[in-house]
Amino acid sequence: MNIKQFINQKAPQLAYYLKGFWEQRIPYRELDLYFWDTLEEWHQHAVRPDYPYTQKERVFWHVLHQMHFWPEDTLSNDRHLKDELSVCLQFLEDEGYYCPLDCIGIRP
């Protein structure tokens, strides 16, 4: 599986888990497990450090980092953060019309 395939497979899952958490269908613990499972899968792929990023990949890593960085209470209650991440999720799900410019995620 190449990077593009990995991101295309994982992006909808990321959106599903984060939206499910916001809708109180998925507990925070499951969100955290998804984060660690994704990193474990990522590290199974040999990626050259000079391989170029796509906009979708940058947004994906940004959302994944934000999801893990913020504590549960902030992630579920901070309206500004939820709005920012919602725009990112729309882009990841191919529903957004533009790439959020303030999302500069990097590979782990």
How many angstroms separate the CA atoms of 56 and 100, rounded? 10
Query: Token pair for residue 51?
Result: 């391989």
Residue written as token pair 């909808």? 12
Domain assignments of the chain as residue spans, ordered by start: 3-92
pLDDT above 90 for 14: yes
How many angstroms separate the CA atoms of 106 and 73, rounded? 25
pLDDT above 90 for 94: no
| % of the chain at pLDDT higher than 90 | 73
At 51 the pLDDT is 85
Q: Average pLDDT in the 35-56 region?
A: 89
Q: Average pLDDT in the 85-94 region?
A: 93
At 75 the pLDDT is 97
Q: Average pLDDT in the 14-34 region?
A: 97
